[in-house]
């Protein structure tokens, strides 16, 4: 998983920038090191696959959890749309990502879920992604 994550990060950086600056390389290496230390490569790859499948299905999906937003690697994978370098965000990842919440409809999440093939992969997806309904406006009384 470690090599797959590294290869994918550099491929996406090349696609996005054409040439990878020294600072981008530094950021990728340091983030991959932290991701490896936390043993969350599977979670990051699962999120990348989730977003990739959603994009193929024309479903707009972005993970808005704070630790994910600060990750340049997650930005390269399309998991978040905010460039943390441009936004001057310091990379921080907790010991675990916990559950990732999405504000999209449960139907959209279920359609994407069905694209995960292996049973263990589907169970992992189900544990990682939870549906968080959009806040409904309340009436003033």
pLDDT in tens, 13-50: 999 999 999 999 999 999 999 888 888 888 788 788 87
| Residue 136 lies inside a defined structural domain of this protein | no
Report the domain count for the chain: 1
| Residue 83 lies inside a defined structural domain of this protein | yes
By residue range, what is the domain housing residue 102?
2-131
| Residue 12 lies inside a defined structural domain of this protein | yes
Q: Which residues contact 46 (CB under 8 A, 6 or more apart)?
A: 121, 124, 125, 128
- pTM of the predicted protein model: 0.73
Please give the Cα distance from 63 to 54 (Å, whole number): 12
| Residue 141 lies inside a defined structural domain of this protein | no
Q: Which residues contact 109 (CB under 8 A, 6 or more apart)?
A: 102, 129, 131
| Residue 55 lies inside a defined structural domain of this protein | yes
**pLDDT by residue (tens digit) across 81-97?**
889 999 998 887 666 55
| Residue 140 lies inside a defined structural domain of this protein | no
What does the DSSP 8-state code read for residue 130?
E
């Amino acid at each position: 998983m470690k090599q797959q994550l590294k290869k994918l990060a550099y491929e996406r950086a090349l696609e996005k920038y054409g040439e990878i600056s020294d600072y981008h390389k530094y950021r990728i290496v340091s983030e991959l090191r932290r991701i490896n230390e936390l043993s969350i490569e599977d979670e990051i790859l699962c999120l990348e696959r989730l977003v990739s499948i959603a994009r193929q299905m024309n479903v707009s999906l972005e993970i808005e959890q704070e630790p994910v937003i600060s990750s340049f690697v997650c930005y390269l994978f399309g998991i978040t749309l905010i460039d943390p370098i441009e936004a001057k965000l310091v990379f921080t990842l907790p010991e675990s990502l916990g559950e990732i919440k999405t504000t999209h409809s449960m139907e959209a999440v279920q359609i994407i879920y069905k694209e995960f093939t292996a049973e263990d992969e589907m169970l992992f997806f189900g544990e990682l992604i939870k549906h968080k309904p959009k806040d409904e406006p309340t009436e003033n009384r």
